[in-house]
Amino acid sequence: MMSSLFLMVEIPKDDPVAFTFFTGYMAMFAASVFFFFERGRVKGKWKTSLLVSGLITGIAAVHYYYMRDYYAQTGENPTALRYIDWTLTVPLMCVEFYLLTKPAGARLSLLWKLILASVLMLVAGYIGEAFTDGSTGHSVMWGVISTVGYVYILYTAWFGEVKQLADNSGNPTVIRGIRALAWFVLVGWAIYPIGYMCMEGGWLNIAFGWEPSNVDLFYNIADAVNKIGFGLVVYNIAISDGFSDEGKLAQA
Protein backbone atom coordinates (compact mmCIF):
# COMPACT_ATOMS: atom_id res chain seq x y z
CA MET A 1 0.00 0.00 0.00
CA MET A 2 2.81 2.37 0.89
CA SER A 3 4.56 1.62 -2.39
CA SER A 4 1.44 2.53 -4.34
CA LEU A 5 1.21 5.79 -2.42
CA PHE A 6 4.58 7.02 -3.69
CA LEU A 7 4.24 6.17 -7.37
CA MET A 8 5.34 8.86 -9.77
CA VAL A 9 2.46 11.25 -10.39
CA GLU A 10 1.97 14.18 -12.70
CA ILE A 11 2.56 17.59 -11.15
CA PRO A 12 -0.48 19.86 -11.60
CA LYS A 13 0.50 22.82 -13.76
CA ASP A 14 -1.70 25.25 -11.85
CA ASP A 15 -0.58 24.25 -8.34
CA PRO A 16 2.36 26.34 -7.05
CA VAL A 17 2.69 24.17 -3.94
CA ALA A 18 3.24 21.03 -6.01
CA PHE A 19 5.68 22.95 -8.20
CA THR A 20 7.76 24.08 -5.20
CA PHE A 21 7.84 20.53 -3.83
CA PHE A 22 9.44 19.44 -7.12
CA THR A 23 11.81 22.40 -7.47
CA GLY A 24 12.78 22.11 -3.81
CA TYR A 25 13.67 18.47 -4.36
CA MET A 26 15.76 19.22 -7.45
CA ALA A 27 17.49 22.27 -5.95
CA MET A 28 18.51 20.47 -2.77
CA PHE A 29 19.63 17.37 -4.67
CA ALA A 30 21.82 19.55 -6.90
CA ALA A 31 23.20 21.41 -3.88
CA SER A 32 24.06 18.12 -2.19
CA VAL A 33 26.03 16.95 -5.24
CA PHE A 34 27.85 20.28 -5.32
CA PHE A 35 28.84 20.18 -1.64
CA PHE A 36 30.04 16.58 -1.83
CA PHE A 37 32.20 17.32 -4.86
CA GLU A 38 33.61 20.54 -3.42
CA ARG A 39 34.43 18.83 -0.14
CA GLY A 40 37.50 17.29 -1.79
CA ARG A 41 38.88 20.72 -2.74
CA VAL A 42 38.83 22.52 0.61
CA LYS A 43 41.35 22.26 3.42
CA GLY A 44 41.06 19.40 5.88
CA LYS A 45 39.61 21.41 8.76
CA TRP A 46 36.58 22.37 6.64
CA LYS A 47 35.86 18.98 5.06
CA THR A 48 33.49 17.86 7.82
CA SER A 49 31.57 21.13 7.54
CA LEU A 50 31.08 20.59 3.80
CA LEU A 51 30.11 16.96 4.44
CA VAL A 52 27.42 18.09 6.88
CA SER A 53 26.18 20.67 4.36
CA GLY A 54 25.84 17.91 1.76
CA LEU A 55 24.02 15.67 4.23
CA ILE A 56 21.56 18.42 5.12
CA THR A 57 20.53 19.07 1.53
CA GLY A 58 20.73 15.38 0.61
CA ILE A 59 18.42 14.28 3.43
CA ALA A 60 16.04 17.11 2.55
CA ALA A 61 16.04 16.12 -1.13
CA VAL A 62 15.00 12.56 -0.28
CA HIS A 63 12.18 13.78 1.93
CA TYR A 64 11.01 16.27 -0.68
CA TYR A 65 10.86 13.46 -3.24
CA TYR A 66 8.35 11.65 -1.02
CA MET A 67 6.55 14.78 0.14
CA ARG A 68 6.04 15.82 -3.47
CA ASP A 69 4.27 12.55 -4.30
CA TYR A 70 2.34 12.49 -1.03
CA TYR A 71 0.99 15.98 -1.66
CA ALA A 72 0.15 15.22 -5.30
CA GLN A 73 -1.72 12.05 -4.29
CA THR A 74 -3.63 13.43 -1.31
CA GLY A 75 -3.57 17.23 -1.54
CA GLU A 76 -2.80 17.25 2.18
CA ASN A 77 0.06 18.54 4.30
CA PRO A 78 2.85 15.94 4.63
CA THR A 79 3.22 16.89 8.30
CA ALA A 80 4.88 13.70 9.53
CA LEU A 81 7.36 13.57 6.63
CA ARG A 82 8.19 17.24 7.05
CA TYR A 83 8.94 16.87 10.75
CA ILE A 84 11.05 13.77 10.12
CA ASP A 85 13.07 15.87 7.67
CA TRP A 86 13.43 18.74 10.13
CA THR A 87 14.33 16.44 13.02
CA LEU A 88 17.28 15.16 10.99
CA THR A 89 18.39 18.33 9.22
CA VAL A 90 17.89 21.10 11.78
CA PRO A 91 20.23 19.51 14.37
CA LEU A 92 22.77 19.13 11.57
CA MET A 93 22.41 22.83 10.82
CA CYS A 94 23.18 23.48 14.49
CA VAL A 95 26.23 21.21 14.17
CA GLU A 96 27.59 23.70 11.62
CA PHE A 97 27.83 26.35 14.34
CA TYR A 98 30.01 24.01 16.38
CA LEU A 99 32.21 22.96 13.47
CA LEU A 100 32.84 26.54 12.36
CA THR A 101 33.83 27.67 15.84
CA LYS A 102 35.74 24.52 16.79
CA PRO A 103 39.09 26.00 15.63
CA ALA A 104 38.42 28.86 18.09
CA GLY A 105 37.95 26.44 21.00
CA ALA A 106 34.31 25.33 20.85
CA ARG A 107 33.66 22.39 23.19
CA LEU A 108 31.45 19.35 22.75
CA SER A 109 29.12 20.76 25.40
CA LEU A 110 28.16 23.52 22.94
CA LEU A 111 27.36 20.93 20.29
CA TRP A 112 25.09 18.94 22.59
CA LYS A 113 23.30 22.02 23.91
CA LEU A 114 22.50 23.15 20.38
CA ILE A 115 21.33 19.68 19.34
CA LEU A 116 19.13 19.27 22.43
CA ALA A 117 17.62 22.73 21.91
CA SER A 118 16.79 21.90 18.29
CA VAL A 119 15.26 18.53 19.23
CA LEU A 120 13.14 20.19 21.93
CA MET A 121 11.98 22.78 19.42
CA LEU A 122 10.98 20.18 16.85
CA VAL A 123 9.46 17.50 19.08
CA ALA A 124 7.31 20.06 20.87
CA GLY A 125 6.29 21.56 17.55
CA TYR A 126 5.32 18.16 16.18
CA ILE A 127 3.25 17.28 19.24
CA GLY A 128 1.52 20.63 19.03
CA GLU A 129 0.76 20.31 15.32
CA ALA A 130 0.21 16.60 14.70
CA PHE A 131 -1.83 15.89 17.83
CA THR A 132 -3.85 19.09 17.94
CA ASP A 133 -7.34 18.90 19.38
CA GLY A 134 -8.27 22.19 17.80
CA SER A 135 -7.94 24.13 21.02
CA THR A 136 -5.85 27.25 21.42
CA GLY A 137 -4.56 26.01 24.78
CA HIS A 138 -2.92 22.95 23.20
CA SER A 139 -1.40 25.03 20.42
CA VAL A 140 -0.03 27.68 22.77
CA MET A 141 1.38 25.28 25.36
CA TRP A 142 3.43 23.23 22.90
CA GLY A 143 4.26 26.35 20.89
CA VAL A 144 5.78 28.00 23.96
CA ILE A 145 7.84 24.88 24.76
CA SER A 146 9.06 24.78 21.15
CA THR A 147 9.95 28.47 21.28
CA VAL A 148 12.25 27.88 24.27
CA GLY A 149 14.52 25.75 22.08
CA TYR A 150 14.38 28.23 19.23
CA VAL A 151 15.20 31.24 21.42
CA TYR A 152 18.17 29.41 22.94
CA ILE A 153 19.65 28.73 19.47
CA LEU A 154 18.92 32.30 18.41
CA TYR A 155 20.52 33.79 21.52
CA THR A 156 23.59 31.54 21.26
CA ALA A 157 24.14 32.52 17.62
CA TRP A 158 23.64 36.26 18.13
CA PHE A 159 25.00 36.96 21.60
CA GLY A 160 26.07 33.77 23.35
CA GLU A 161 28.81 31.20 23.04
CA VAL A 162 28.80 30.87 19.25
CA LYS A 163 29.04 34.64 18.76
CA GLN A 164 31.82 34.95 21.33
CA LEU A 165 33.83 32.09 19.85
CA ALA A 166 33.50 33.55 16.36
CA ASP A 167 34.74 36.93 17.60
CA ASN A 168 37.64 35.27 19.44
CA SER A 169 38.66 33.37 16.31
CA GLY A 170 40.11 36.56 14.83
CA ASN A 171 39.02 35.32 11.40
CA PRO A 172 36.88 37.97 9.65
CA THR A 173 35.40 35.37 7.29
CA VAL A 174 34.25 33.16 10.17
CA ILE A 175 32.82 36.20 11.99
CA ARG A 176 30.86 37.25 8.89
CA GLY A 177 29.81 33.65 8.23
CA ILE A 178 28.45 33.12 11.74
CA ARG A 179 26.58 36.41 11.50
CA ALA A 180 25.06 35.27 8.17
CA LEU A 181 23.96 31.96 9.71
CA ALA A 182 22.50 33.87 12.66
CA TRP A 183 20.44 35.91 10.20
CA PHE A 184 19.16 32.67 8.67
CA VAL A 185 18.01 31.56 12.13
CA LEU A 186 16.36 34.91 12.86
CA VAL A 187 14.70 35.60 9.52
CA GLY A 188 14.71 32.34 7.57
CA TRP A 189 13.47 30.16 10.40
CA ALA A 190 10.71 32.66 11.28
CA ILE A 191 8.43 31.10 8.64
CA TYR A 192 8.14 27.91 10.68
CA PRO A 193 6.41 29.36 13.77
CA ILE A 194 4.17 31.32 11.40
CA GLY A 195 3.12 28.03 9.79
CA TYR A 196 2.61 26.49 13.23
CA MET A 197 0.22 29.28 14.20
CA CYS A 198 -1.86 28.60 11.08
CA MET A 199 -2.95 25.16 12.25
CA GLU A 200 -6.39 24.63 13.73
CA GLY A 201 -6.49 26.42 17.06
CA GLY A 202 -3.44 28.55 16.22
CA TRP A 203 -3.52 32.30 16.66
CA LEU A 204 -3.24 33.13 12.95
CA ASN A 205 -5.85 30.50 12.11
CA ILE A 206 -8.30 32.01 14.58
CA ALA A 207 -7.52 35.66 13.89
CA PHE A 208 -7.29 35.62 10.08
CA GLY A 209 -8.53 32.19 9.04
CA TRP A 210 -5.13 31.20 7.61
CA GLU A 211 -5.03 27.50 6.80
CA PRO A 212 -1.94 25.21 6.98
CA SER A 213 -2.29 24.41 3.27
CA ASN A 214 -1.64 28.07 2.50
CA VAL A 215 1.74 27.88 4.24
CA ASP A 216 3.18 24.86 2.39
CA LEU A 217 4.33 27.13 -0.42
CA PHE A 218 6.36 29.25 2.01
CA TYR A 219 7.62 26.20 3.90
CA ASN A 220 9.03 24.77 0.67
CA ILE A 221 10.72 27.99 -0.40
CA ALA A 222 12.07 28.63 3.10
CA ASP A 223 13.45 25.09 3.38
CA ALA A 224 15.38 25.41 0.13
CA VAL A 225 16.71 28.90 0.94
CA ASN A 226 17.67 28.02 4.52
CA LYS A 227 19.33 24.67 3.86
CA ILE A 228 21.13 25.58 0.65
CA GLY A 229 21.97 29.01 2.05
CA PHE A 230 23.51 27.49 5.19
CA GLY A 231 25.70 25.30 3.02
CA LEU A 232 26.78 28.16 0.77
CA VAL A 233 27.84 30.24 3.76
CA VAL A 234 29.92 27.32 5.03
CA TYR A 235 31.37 26.83 1.54
CA ASN A 236 32.32 30.50 1.35
CA ILE A 237 34.15 30.27 4.68
CA ALA A 238 35.99 27.15 3.52
CA ILE A 239 37.18 28.51 0.17
CA SER A 240 38.14 31.85 1.74
CA ASP A 241 40.75 29.88 3.68
CA GLY A 242 42.22 28.57 0.44
CA PHE A 243 42.11 25.18 -1.26
CA SER A 244 43.80 21.91 -0.38
CA ASP A 245 46.73 20.70 -2.49
CA GLU A 246 44.32 18.46 -4.39
CA GLY A 247 42.00 21.41 -4.93
CA LYS A 248 44.81 23.54 -6.30
CA LEU A 249 45.74 20.78 -8.72
CA ALA A 250 42.12 20.50 -9.83
CA GLN A 251 42.04 24.26 -10.47
CA ALA A 252 45.22 24.06 -12.49
pLDDT recorded at residue 3: 44
How would residue 4 be classed by pLDDT, with cut points 50, 70 and 90? very low
**Model confidence at 80: pLDDT above 60:** yes
How would residue 129 be classed by pLDDT, with cut points 50, 70 and 90? confident
Contacts of the segment 45-49: beta carbons below 8 A, 24+ positions apart:
45/103, 45/241, 46/234, 46/237, 46/238, 46/241, 48/99, 49/96, 49/99, 49/100, 49/234, 49/237, 49/238
pLDDT recorded at residue 175: 94
pLDDT, tens digit (0-9, with 9 covering 90-100), for 179-192: 999 999 999 898 88
> What's the average model confidence in pLDDT over 21-50?
95
Of 21-25, 72-76, 125-129, 247-251, the one with minimum mean pLDDT is: 247-251
Q: What structural domains does the chain harbor? A: 12-251 (1.20.1070.10)
**Model confidence at 247: pLDDT above 60:** no
